[in-house]
Structure 1
Amino acid sequence: MTAPMTNAEQVLTLARSRPPTLGGARLVCVDGPAGSGKTTLAAELATLAGGAAVVHMDDLYEGWGGLGRVEDQLQTLLRPLAEGFSGSYRRWDWPGNAWAETVLVPPAPLLVLEGVGSGSTAHADLTTVLAWVEVPFELRMARGLERDGDAAADHWRQWARDERDLFTRERTRERADVVLDGRVGSLHA
């Protein structure tokens, strides 16, 4: 009897079973609420795929209030890649609270776009697989405050409201190809 596939194995298998959607490449968007385990899944996907390119949405937001303004960054990243050219985005420097360098992302066979808003309908035509990762709110908050400290609690609560509004408007969970429990390795379809 073989062991069940991990979440990362299941997502990668699904992506590889579908035709390329990002030019000659595949785009896996790992979306879901903050603190749900998206970064962990993205890292596992990159390793499993032999070094897939990973872009973290945290680098694209203009700070805590930037969720609603991230779409322009996604356009300059994804649309050129769909045409076979390098995409780019401006990296947000969280400690400096300012825009930093422009990051160039060359075409690669697999791009994993990880973070809140990665599954935007504005680029759904380029998405090979939309994976939704979730855990209960209390666990998400505990993970976030462990990472960012108690001083970030108000930011985390506002972010939770902002992302909830985004997910409702975009119907992200409903459009997801797979829904994953970020506490365990099981897949829910």
Structure 2
Amino acid sequence: MPKVTCHNICDAIAAAPLPDGMHTKLIGIDGCGGSGKSTLARQLAQDIGARVIPTDDFAAWDCPLEWHDRFMAQVIGPFQANQPARYQRYDWHSRTLANWITVPAGGTVIIEGVSAIRQLFRPALAYKIYVETPRAIRLARGLARDGADAWPMWQGWMAEEDAYVAAELPAKQADLVIDGTQPLAAR
């Protein structure tokens, strides 16, 4: 099996056909919290000139995975209709909906976050990536980012993620599964 590099992934994304009738190429990057999704999304976005929509703009500690209807209405649906996406970003600090964000239709948009390649979104996704990282590493990364006080929330969040992974099997649905413990080489 060839080595997975950022260059290979960019080539695969470029070669991926658009879903019928769509003018925006949507790329899903999924994985559990702390797996390395955001890092990968930033790297790919820079390399291919894509915009990124984090699912964290929709999720909340007390509602980690039940935001998909709003995401469909404000992001996926408009892109499927070749219209701009317009959504209200969730602010994790104030725990309220914050500013509105508009993402123009066309080009490539990366949807990054836990459950980004859920079954509901798959018909609109041109390419699907799953970042797989052991639970202990993910938890350590998450607590380093969010602070030790976030431990109880991480316990709840990880239980929700486990249920999602068991129900939807995102790694099996992905076009590419990446090891999130290793940095991705440029070439």
TM-score scaled by structure 2?
0.91
Deviation at 1:5, TM superposition (A): 5.2
Taking structure 1 as reference, are residues 165 and 5 closer, same or farther at Cα in structure 2, changes over 3 Å only? Answer: closer
**Aligned equivalent of 1:114:** 112
Change (3 A) 1:145 1:185: closer
- Name the counterpart of 1:141: 139
Range moving further from structure 2, 14-23 or 175-184: 14-23
Corresponding residue number in structure 2 for 1:100? 98
Aligned-pair Cα RMSD in Å: 1.8
Between stretches 34-43 and 66-75, larger displacement belongs to 66-75
Q: Which amino acid aligns with 1:118?
A: A
Q: Is residue 130 of structure 1 aligned with residue 124 of structure 2?
A: no
> Is 1:70 aligned to 2:67, yes or no?
yes
Residue type of the alignment partner of 2:129? A
Per-residue displacement from partner, 1:128-181 (whole Å, max 9, x unpaired)?
A: 111000111111111001100000011111111101101211221111111100
Alignment-mate amino acid for residue 45 of structure 2: A
List gaps (5 residues or longer) in structure 2: none
Distance in 2 of aligned mates of 1:114 and 1:9: 19
Structure 2 CA distance for aligned equivalents of residues 96 and 139 of structure 1: 28
Q: Give runs of ≥4 in structure 1 deviating > 3 Å.
A: none
Q: Which has the higher contact order (CA 8 A, sep 6+)?
A: 2
> What is the percentage of aligned positions where both structures have the same residue?
29
Superposition map of 1:52-91 within 5 A: 52-61=50-59, 63-75=60-72, 76-91=74-89
Asked if the contact 1:52/1:108 (under 8 Å) is kept, the reply is no
Match of 1:40 in 2: 39
How many Å separate the matches in 1 of 2:58 and 2:31? 16
The residue type equivalent to 1:181 in the other structure is D
Unaligned runs of 5+ in 1: none
Q: Is the 8 A contact 1:84 1:107 kept in 2?
A: yes
Where 2:65 maps in the other structure, the secondary structure is: helix
Query: How far apart are the structure 2 equivalents of 1:174 and 1:4?
Result: 19
Using the alignment, how far apart are the partners of 2:54 and 2:160 within structure 1? 18
What is the CA–CA distance in structure 2 between the aligned matches of 1:109 and 1:169, rounded to whole Å? 31
Letter in 1 for 2:23: G
Shift of 1:117: 1.1
Q: Report the AA paired with residue 39 of structure 1.
A: S
Q: Equivalents in 1 of 2:129, 2:154: separation in Å?
A: 22
Q: Distance in 2 between matches of 1:5 and 1:178?
A: 9
Determine helix, strand or coil for the equivalent of 2:93: coil
Q: Is the 8 A contact 1:31 1:132 kept in 2?
A: yes
Name the CA distance, whole Å, in 2 between partners of 1:167 and 1:30.
14
1: CA distance, partners of 2:169 / 2:34: 19
Contact 1:55 1:113 in 2 (8 A): yes
| Pairs within 5 Å for 1:161-180 | 161-180=159-178
Q: Is the 8 A contact 2:58 2:67 kept in 1?
A: yes
AA aligned opposite 1:58 = D
Matches of 1:182 and 1:134, distance apart in 2: 5
Give the secondary-structure state (helix, strand or coil) at the position aligned to 1:122.
coil
